[in-house]
């Protein structure tokens, strides 16, 4: 059987050679294998809630108080005893005073009296009902109202939001803005969260220069480290940037070692094919543990996954679009698992009518770049960004979604419904 390192005729894409090396895994199988090999972060730290958005809660948060702490009004109006509401006709109540939010009316309210009350203000003793100010007439220090009100209306009971002792937030959730507000409403200033994963990145390729450097003939700028930086930052990862690594066995091994010494996960780009300058897969095979190196997806068929030292390793292809697609589809779920987040939100998929023709060969799950739009009647349609070459980063920049075409599907004709994954749900 052919091995991963057999030479291929020039110009032949190893992905198009049947049986070259190991069989390609389905994306689903690849993800399952990766997740099974991830050891989630367990180290904790304390952070103020003002810096906690996006962090993973390490321990459950119990409420030390009832929220709200007191029975209070949901409306601006008048507080009175529900038993005094008229069953028919009208009733009149003398206004005994005012209850402000944060400045309660201290005395008890007698039968037949009411108190002017603001939203959020405590209900005074002797009252259990609020009538909206829009539903009364005020005259000579008295309030007149008609029948039709329900005893107990417009009152928020203590603990309506959260009861004292109740688990307000479970461990393992990724803190969103609502959670920060909720923590604040409990009077909590700092929370225990899991340490952020550290992810080391490097680009491989003798042809690569960094922005700011001059290009000689045949050289190109390294774009992968920058798109990776952005995607990792959005995911809340701590990034260790190891720069551009030359295509030699020695430099590649040194990069692996430096990365594994400093990070929980390593993401490289380039050097995973079977060209003469591709040392990434070989290094992983010789000095680490390789899980797989081919996934039946496009772009991104050559992709190496494994472990090096204590770090998990992702060797992404070199083409800039392949890097982004494989990051979102393969690396992202793994890093979410590494972060210790439990039950992350499932990916958002939308059904949309494809208005352009998509070229596709059966055999790989494809992620084409598309523009998702909503028409006047509220239906979604999607069109291709055009040229789908794995090197055309512009296609990612113009797109707002992936159009997902199943493994065995061929060309997609205009008017066909397709699955679409909006970028908005990925970052």
Interface residues toward ligand AMP, by CB under 6 A = 203, 205, 207-208, 220, 222-224, 269-271, 273, 275, 317-320
State which residue, 154 or 225, has the beta carbon closest to ligand AMP.
225
Phi (first) and psi of residue 165, to 5 degrees: 90, -15
CA 101 from chain centre, in angstroms, equals 37
Kindly state the smallest distance separating residue 401's Cβ from Mg ion, in Å. Answer: 29
From 360, 364, 325, 347, select the one nearest 419 (Cα to Cα).
Answer: 347
The residue among 317 and 370 lying less far from ligand AMP, judged by its C-beta, is: 317
Q: 128: buried, middle or exposed (CB in 10 Å: 19+, 13-18, 0-12)?
A: middle
Least distance in angstroms from the C-beta of 271 to Mg ion: 5
CB of residue 270 to Mg ion, shortest distance in Å: 4
Nearer to ligand AMP, 159 or 205 (CB): 205
The CA distance from 241 to 199, in Å, is 8
- Taking a C-beta distance cutoff of 8 angstroms, is the pair 304, 326 a contact? no
Distance between CA atoms of residues 348 and 329, nearest Å: 13
Q: Which is nearer to Mg ion, 99 or 252 (CB)?
A: 252
Nearest to 320, CA basis, from 408, 407, 225:
225
Cβ atoms of residues 126 and 117 within 8 Å: no
Phi, psi of 33 (to 5 degrees): -65, -40
Residue closer to ligand AMP, measured from CB, 244 or 420: 244
The order of strands in the sheet holding 265-269 is 238-245, 198-204, 265-269, 311-316, 302-308, 289-294
Give strand pairing partners of 420: 350, 403
Residue with smaller CB distance to ligand AMP, 21 or 270? 270
Shortest reach from residue 269's CB to ligand AMP, in Å: 5
Residues 316/269, Cβ–Cβ less than 8 Å:
yes
Residues that bind Mg ion (CB under 5 A): 205, 270-271, 318
Pick between residue 20 and residue 179 the one whose CB is nearest to ligand AMP: 20
Q: Give, as one character, the DSSP assignment of residue 425.
A: G
Tell me which of Mg ion, ligand AMP, none is bound by residue 21, counting a contact when its beta carbon lies within the kind-specific cut-off of 5 to 8 angstroms.
none
CA–CA separation, 245 and 206 (whole Å)? 8
User: How far apart are CB 257 and ligand AMP at their closest, in Å?
Assistant: 20
CB of 317 to ligand AMP, least distance (A): 5
273 binds, among Mg ion, ligand AMP, none (CB under 5 to 8 A by kind): ligand AMP
Cβ-closest position to ligand AMP:
318
Between 33 and 248, name the residue whose CB sits nearer to Mg ion. 248
Q: Report the nearest approach of ligand AMP to the CB of residue 298 (Å).
A: 14
Gap between the Cα atoms of 218 and 375, Å rounded: 45
Smallest distance from the beta carbon of 268 to Mg ion, in angstroms? Answer: 10
């Amino acid at each position: 059987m052919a091995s991963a390192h057999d030479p291929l005729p020039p110009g032949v894409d190893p992905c198009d050679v049947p049986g070259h090396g190991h069989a390609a895994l389905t994306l689903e199988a690849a993800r399952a294998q990766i997740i099974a090999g991830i050891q989630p972060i367990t180290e904790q730290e304390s952070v103020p809630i003002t810096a906690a958005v996006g962090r993973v809660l390490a321990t459950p948060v119990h409420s030390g108080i009832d929220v709200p702490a007191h029975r209070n009004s949901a409306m601006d109006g008048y507080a009175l005893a529900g038993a005094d509401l008229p069953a028919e006709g009208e009733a009149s109540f003398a206004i005994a005073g005012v209850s402000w939010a944060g400045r309660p009316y201290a005395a008890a309210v007698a039968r037949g009296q009411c108190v002017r009350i603001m939203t959020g203000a405590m209900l005074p003793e002797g009252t259990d009902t609020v009538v909206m100010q829009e539903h009364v007439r005020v005259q000579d220090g008295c309030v007149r109202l008609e029948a039709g009100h329900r005893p107990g209306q417009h009152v928020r009971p203590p603990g309506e939001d959260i009861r004292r002792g109740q688990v307000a937030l479970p461990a393992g959730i990724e803190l969103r803005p609502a959670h920060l507000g909720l923590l604040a409403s409990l009077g909590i200033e700092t929370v225990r969260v899991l340490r952020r994963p550290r992810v080391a990145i490097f680009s491989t390729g003798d042809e690569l220069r960094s922005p700011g450097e001059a290009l000689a003939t045949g050289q190109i700028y390294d774009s992968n480290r920058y798109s990776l930086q952005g995607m990792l930052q959005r995911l809340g990862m701590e990034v260790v940037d190891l720069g551009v690594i030359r295509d030699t066995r020695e430099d590649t091994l040194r990069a692996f070692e430096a990365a594994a010494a400093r990070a929980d996960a390593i993401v490289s780009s380039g050097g995973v094919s079977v060209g003469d300058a591709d040392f990434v897969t070989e290094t992983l095979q010789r000095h680490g543990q390789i899980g797989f190196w081919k996934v039946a997806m496009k772009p991104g068929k050559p992709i190496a996954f494994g472990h090096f030292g204590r770090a998990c390793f992702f060797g992404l292809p070199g083409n800039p679009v392949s890097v982004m697609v494989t990051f979102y589809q393969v690396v992202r779920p793994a890093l979410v698992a590494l972060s210790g987040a439990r039950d992350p939100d499932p990916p958002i998929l939308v059904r949309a009518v494809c208005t352009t023709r998509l070229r596709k060969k059966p055999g790989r799950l494809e992620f084409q770049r598309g523009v998702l739009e909503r028409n006047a009647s509220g239906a979604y349609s999607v069109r291709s960004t055009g040229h789908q070459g794995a090197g055309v980063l512009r296609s990612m920049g113009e797109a707002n979604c992936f159009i997902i075409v199943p493994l065995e599907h061929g060309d997609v004709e205009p008017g066909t419904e397709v699955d679409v994954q909006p970028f908005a749900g990925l970052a």
